[in-house]
Structure 1
Amino acid sequence: MPDSLRPEDRATIASVLERHADNPSAFLALNRGNEYFTCEGLDGFVCYRVQGRRWIQFGGPFADASCRRELQTRFVEHAHGNRCKVIGAQLQRADAELFAGLGHTVNQVGASYAVGLPDFSLRGKRFVRLRNKISRALRAGLEITEVDPEKCADEIENINRQWLRDKGRHTKELAFLIGEIGGEWQSLRKLYVGRVDGTAIAYVSYAPVYGSRPGWLHDLSRRLPDSPPGVMEAINSQAIEDMRTSGAEWLHFGFTPFTGLDGAHELPAASPMAARVVRFVAEHGDRVYPAKSQLEYKSKWCPDAVLPEYFAFDGGLSPRSLWSVARATNIV
């Protein structure tokens, strides 16, 4: 459990991610409030949160390839021993195949997007509109700097408060599947803030990415409701230049539910009913989740890779399991 982990244990978990994680969002496993399952002699861990009789697992087992299946099997057995079921969230293809092999129902629920940085440039016709938006923000006086969040905590909190208020009084902060600012691991992240006339109006936080596409994850991003157009694009453009200069290979835009759906990505373990529900929400459910606006922003950068992501349900899909996911992520 997170609260009982000794400092050296948490350092081991961070080391496992660096050595074995291939999920672009893996760094989110270090969020406060997560719990961890480990087995003596197995080089890895499972990250999860308890939601009633459902244990919501983030990603697959973060472990050496030689013990991934054994670690996942033991975790599921441990859950069953506590009369609980496991739900896998934000699974990569290899994770989905592992869960399917253990008898879980597995469906594609969305995709993540990534841009290769070594040859990236905003030159050319396809980026004309993006360049124009960035220019508008800079002409409005936007200044962009990488900052220490401890030195601008009040400014960040002000942006968060106004951003959330603008979303409507029933809107809640999402949890579990998004990152955070501050805490024990902040020194490994990047935080960029945009200011106009000395006032902080927007920020973007980036988390490190390990594995086959190493680089950075475009994580939390917020702005004041009256910010000039192009502010977020300008901040991200500056961050990309800094990342390219430092030799980073990829910028990941993270998981977007209900996008990138393709029947060719589904596994034999998929539920046809779940696939129909996901596609229906993708077409008509913008009130449930603003997937279209998120995809529009990510598509502006012309991603080089679109990676399918999956959810897995121990014992099959059920309303109770869907409710548990919604509660764990604070959607409801």
Structure 2
Amino acid sequence: MLSPCCALGSAPPSSPARLCSRRKTGLAEGRSTSASRREMAQGGPSRLPRRPRASAGPTGSGSSGEAGKDACLFPALVAAALGGPADHISNYDVLDTLPSSSSATLQLARPVLGPAARRSGSSTQRVVLKMLRVPCAGGQAASAAQRALREAEMMRALPASAHLLELLSVFCMPSADGSAHVLVLVLPYYPHGSLADELGLRMRRQPARPYSEDEVRTVLRDLAHALAVAHDARIVHRDVKPENVLRADDGHLLLADFGLATRIDTLPQGKQKARAEEERDDTLCGTPLYLSP
């Protein structure tokens, strides 16, 4: 049976955790990364250089950078950066809790009021509430605020496309114990699950050839279309894998989970461009099992 989870931000227990680290360009760092890749291939741990404190830069977002400065201002920053119609958790009937990950809690819900109900056009339409917890204090507060707001900003900036997961609504609320803010992303629910769910089922039925050549071409076509639309908006996904690809009711595929996505701004020209390229950081993001060579 296919998992009811729409695989937004989640991964199966057997999959390695995704990562995002930064390393300075240079020979020594290149050797370190090569060694890390050898360890990944041998099943060992990935020892990537520690990521320095995040700051607003050429690939960053001004709003998410501000969120990192003071997590207590997070609700106001969400309202200022994302805007849109007001929404609230009381506008939803929560039906079930879906398989979740350490970074997000997923709940199946039905919108009865608010922007998501108006956009779906039916009170029977189900949605997924992706809840990102942002602590009010502590060492992880600033980075959690920055990551959560960046994901919402990336999804809001994406053009409309049949192959990109749509952000129906977004709002902020306090946690039950009052120790954190919770950023809630309201997303469409796809009961057929992810490409990973589908692949696992087919592998059990016909392990020698789970997909025909025509089916593989269709998968690649849909993913290429999704990436082309995102790249035209200067947004890089950085974590493409079967768990982050959803199957729609009509059979086409959608790219989901923009938790590691970032926007690539236009590089400066002339001498400023050369200086920026010398000083830039290389960023290594993704799930180790699916990283390119």
Same fold (TM over 0.5): no
Normalised TM-score (structure 2)? 0.31
Normalised TM-score (structure 1)? 0.29
